[in-house]
Structure 1
């Protein structure tokens, strides 16, 4: 592919008409490719939604600049310059890429590269890995130089310890909550109020969130807010403005939530 997401609104569209791109769906290995690793790059000119598709090759996605998202089923991964996503061959996915994102991708032939995971998984994009991937894009590499570079890339590919992953509940019971939060992450409606509106107990809603996401409502809400904040930080917006936009009354409270989800401060993330 290129980057992807569930639907423009759900993946973080900023409004206005988005470009839609369609790519074919292939099973793993359905088309034989002559390469081990084939890189590509594109600065995305408009907000772009990539409709669901799949590749005959494994794919590594990351961004040289900006953030985007990839959706697989009910899971939405955020992609940044320091955290990419490995998508195994044949895995259906869609995605969202805001205008101005410098998108990077590498396709890996399954005849030469075993998948590092049976499912999509985050990959840390270290400085060394980035340099090696840049080198693969050089047109003047000799066959032996390319083979050595590919071997070093494969040695560095491994699942990351952390991933920017948001699981989207799919039950009709939770749909109104999910829709409200994804439309406006600053929505601060307490769970007790939602329970009253939906005619159930707060315990029922809590159990439903745990069953579908592995998180309680508060932690899921924090993850949804951080996912939105990442895109804003990647566009260079100020930390205090981002904090307010996603529902935090102070930059310090936002910073604490951001660190719990990502393992780093908003300032460090923006610098990277």
Structure 2
């Protein structure tokens, strides 16, 4: 039976989190608030649950959902070959609006879709989300809406779209919270030797470069070294990147990810 809990009430919040934890353990879907918009979540380690999540949204396996984690030390349990630069960004912007695409731990028994051996990880900056993740562990999460519709900014909006396909709705009020701009997370592909932005979002390129100066912006490629015998071009002090001829649009994480060899992650404006 589908139930909505008002998480602005302490008693309702406790009951809702308990029910949501039970639903996740039973391979069912739940909806909860994040620091961007509302997300629909399922057990990341259950192919059955992830399939239910994708079916609820009307989304195919070619758009695998990211995985939200409760704490930064979960990073090493879920990903491998994590570069020092990727760690710097995680330490600087988690919890918060940054998603990192990393190589998935090969020993893990999960199936998020066509990920090409990678996983997109994020730690959200939201109390209700953090409490739920602490109870359940990592969750596969996508925006709480049917594909092609606007992401839900309340649990009530999510229920209008997802209805009985979700067991528990945790209502935490409007998301993002008042005074916060409604931006998706910035997605950075950290699977190669250079970190690359594949979707612009809440964390700007300038903010990323404060911690990792070599991060490539959306549509940028490394500039090839000039042959030693050639005359240097003007502007030697410019950053050593150049724009691709046809950069993808800001929200086209799918196109950008394909260009870099990363998986086509869910690019809806949420997590």
TM-score by length of 2: 0.24
Structure with more relative contact order (C-alpha pairs < 8 Å, separation 6 or more): 2
TM-score by length of 1: 0.24
